[in-house]
Structure 1
């Protein structure tokens, strides 16, 4: 029993090491980076990658899951508790450690196609969840259109990141990326927090007028091909 437990622990450690190496390698060289490079980074054979993940697709899915979990955890820690400024400051202090995750997200967006669209859908679904939890905690205002709001916020965030495109080059230097991240964060966080906490518009006239003019039966907060069945709260 003891040897079986140790073997299982070793397998989990090897799997995590391969996954972390893949996140970094895909961030540096793109989603088409060869598995032999990932294996070399992790100090294992390419065969062991296939043993643990079955295929490149399986490895990519594990990387997606890991990166999405980190994003979800960080967002929830900032929004989940009223007055929790410490979580945001702590994340800014650890910005160097986020380079592989940011690089990975950039490469996912660059890759395009169905896999990239699915990754974005997962980000939106996670955002719906942690924004709902933040509403329950009293740190975020409820929305008429929770799913549509989550998608807009995610698309704006990802689009702004992609526009900067520090990953335009074939190889992304993860040692230099934290410097870029620090400068980027310093530029966008103050105006974003201002807009989120002190709304840009001084009253609700535009929203009230728009809602009053909408055709009867129009889907609330419509977004994407599934808009007609959007289950968001209507007025």
Structure 2
């Protein structure tokens, strides 16, 4: 994730994302400063506090997710999704960060989830407008459900792997998860599950 040409603030932010993902949010400012190659004072100078730094990290994680989703949408199918699947390991620091955030809980974790859902509403509407997704009777509710399902499944899978294996190799874990769920997820989203609309129609009539 990190590059030598980043600004000092961006280097600190990216180092923090990686360390928070690896060690959790208990990691200290000194460790983050050391990983970024700066003094601890510079961390506080740029971000004010560790919570301020975490908020900026949240923004960066959301930006990465948005950019990846939009890139996949803008690439003609099926190349977009195949490219995303082929490159999934590179997002291991982001996945680790998200897992740690939801493990920690609290207002920042809730805010991260709500922003993920709001972004999903936006980029899924782009996909609907482009004819790549079917419209929904309740677009926002569908987007929320999909994010909750995917984030919940990812967190459950990674937590189980972490308890089983100890220190987690996130690159391998997210590749294994992708290999396990990609086919059934695509089949479900493409072909559906129920043989008719009776249950849905009944729900909307009530």
- TM-score, structure 1 normalization: 0.80
Given that 2:124 and 2:133 are in contact with CA atoms closer than 8 Å, whether structure 1 keeps it comes out as yes
1:47 aligned onto 2:47: no
Cα distance in structure 1, aligned partners of 2:80 and 2:17: 24
Deviation at 1:12, TM superposition (A): 5.9
**Aligned position for 1:56:** 50
Deviation at 1:163, TM superposition (A): 1.0
Query: How has the CA–CA distance of structure 1 residues 30 and 101 changed in structure 2, closer, same or farther, with 3 Å as cutoff?
Result: same
Alignment equivalent of 1:137, drawn from 124, 127, 130: 130
Cα distance in structure 1, aligned partners of 2:80 and 2:40: 38
The SS at the match of 1:38 is helix
> Which structure features the higher share of helix residues?
2
Larger CA deviation: 68-77 vs 182-191: 68-77
Q: Which runs of 5+ in 2 are unaligned?
A: none
**Aligned position for 1:85:** 78
Cα distance in structure 1, aligned partners of 2:28 and 2:144: 32
* Backbone CA RMSD of aligned residues: 1.9
Q: Which runs of 5+ in 1 are unaligned?
A: 1-9, 215-235
Alignment equivalent of 2:148, drawn from 155, 180, 183: 155
**Aligned position for 2:181:** 188
- How many residue pairs were aligned? 200
1:101 aligned onto 2:101: no
The SS at the match of 1:141 is coil
1:22 aligned onto 2:16: yes
Cα distance in structure 2, aligned partners of 1:196 and 1:42: 42
The structure whose Rg is larger is: 1
- TM-score, structure 2 normalization: 0.90
The SS at the match of 2:52 is helix
Alignment equivalent of 2:26, drawn from 17, 32, 55: 32
Query: How has the CA–CA distance of structure 1 residues 70 and 194 changed in structure 2, closer, same or farther, with 3 Å as cutoff?
Result: same
Deviation at 1:92, TM superposition (A): 2.3
**Aligned position for 1:232:** none
Cα distance in structure 2, aligned partners of 1:71 and 1:146: 19
Q: Deviations over 1:158-191 (max 9, x none)?
A: 110111114559x855xx2211111110001110
